[in-house]
Chains A and B, each alone.
Chain A
């Protein structure tokens, strides 16, 4: 069914299509519309899920952990401080190998209070064992949320998946959306280690130095396996529903001498900048990085690279720029732009490309070059 929707409502519609057994959620701007819409579905009988209106995000994730451990499909949504408040349980969910799906509407962190887009919230959960995907359109928010359930629940993954969408610039903008019945693309969930009173097990007991690391390695092994699972699920999705996704979305990269790497909605803005640059005779292309964990290996050999980080690791640098440097050997021009919703236009991005200096860092709006 073709309709129009916000990014938030697209996520809610995908959740409705995936039919979780339990949804636990707590409101926070700019995510709230997702849980409001889901509450409406449940109240209207359009979605037969147990909806737990928890008293905090820490409890939202704890309730998802309990529900997933019982063997049902689970979902929650959050943003920013909510994500940080549940941080302990974000680790726990991955450690407990539970295929929870969470939408995180990316938002900056206080102080000062700022409800606009930034990726620092998601990146602060980088080492938790969650898979993380970043989307850029309303349709992609829907498609990625659906696929997140398939990927998380795959027997070779069994790790939680976070679907990230930019606050306001995607969560609250309206685009066309094709919502559809996924049919057996989303089969009934089967969690092999779900609680079984006929076969009583203890989950997460005291685990000593001779054993603990084995469980950590097992998370990493599944994270590595998830690369193939993601590719398979995205391929099947393309075959069945006609839209292709991958670790990156590449735009005019084939003959590009300079490639802009960005995430989320800035990745889409970069495509417009590429068109502008091409008109001016600059052989530019863009790669919108979709998967942040597992982090893909990008092919950037022989090209200049401009990375836009909507985040910062203080005392270190842009997280994406450094990730690309360490995985490809490239020396990107690292642009820090868009923090807390700072406006970044395609003209601005074209300017970054034209004034690039490999290996240097540039804070947009602060200085010319650091």
Chain B
């Protein structure tokens, strides 16, 4: 097993909800990055999870910044560290709303400029911090507080938007596979330029499942093929182990859907549309890996 440092940079007594998978991810990300790191956090669950002044659960510098501004603030930090000839890691840790909606312009600008930083989006598929309103990352059919009848449109494909910027490294990850995430953060930080990791982070209160099932929910997302673990290094795509197995023999999509209260109103037609989308995504990724695209 890859040696995961014993040092903790996300300390005990955070303000996270029970079963919060994004704080689990943050624990492994900071372990992979180490102490010579600045975390840039726009408005998101992590604004709360880190604790309230004058206390903090973070043992690395954290720069909180306005919702739309994370990638731009990280640009300033990254260029300043270059001016100071320091090698400090600059990592944005942002939610899906702060990434696919309000923060997408700054993200696109920072990637186009070749900024040396790592942008991590932890995706719980809604505005969790404000009480689960729909975001551009909310999937088809999911009930949120602003889509009480279920979301009528599909999830914005953030990864293909980021891919269009041709970054040297981008990957997906899931909170249920922390070792995979740890390795990806390590690899990303060994590469210069803009790096991107998109984590699926199941959310018990938002997705309406009980807290102890948070790991199981992430595993089901991967095993059904709903979420595909991959990394793209200098344009070369590798589908990672758990997803390779899932693609060969996927678990029924219903296993993932039925355990979540947010999908209660999903119709058979919606389910079929979800299945087709999932399959199209898998086919596209497999073809790219095989070099057929």
Contact = CB atoms under 8 A, between A and B. Distances in A.
Interface in A73-131: 74, 88-89, 92
Interface string B45-56: 001101111101
B50 A205 contact: yes
Contacts of B81: 70
B260 interface: no
Interface in A49-76: 49-50, 52-56, 58-60, 62-72, 74
A74 B83 CA distance: 11
B61 A66 contact: no
Contacts of A205: 47, 50-53, 56, 62, 64
B59 A204 contact: no
Contacts of A208: 52-53
Interface string A207-219: 1100100000000
Contacts of B50: 202, 205-206
A92 to B, nearest CB: 6
B192 interface: no
A59 B72 CA distance: 5
Interface stretch (A192-200, A232-240, A294-302, A322-330): A192-200
B83 A72 contact: yes
A317 interface: no
Contacts, number: 163
A70 B51 contact: no
A59 B106 contact: yes
Contacts of B199: none
Contact of A63 (B48, B54, B63, B72): B72
A43 to B, nearest CB: 16
A259 interface: no
* Most-contacted residue by chain B among A62, A64, A207 (CB, 10 A): A62
Contacts of A54: 72, 75, 109, 113
10 contacts: A50-B79, A62-B75, A66-B40, A66-B65, A67-B79, A69-B77, A197-B36, A200-B60, A203-B62, A206-B53
Given A56-B72, A62-B66, 19 more contacts: A54-B75, A62-B72, A63-B76, A63-B79, A65-B73, A68-B76, A69-B73, A70-B81, A88-B69, A195-B63, A197-B88, A202-B50, A202-B61, A204-B65, A205-B50, A205-B62, A206-B48, A208-B53, A211-B53
Ranked 6 nearest A-B pairs via Cβ: A66-B76, A55-B109, A59-B72, A70-B80, A63-B76, A62-B72
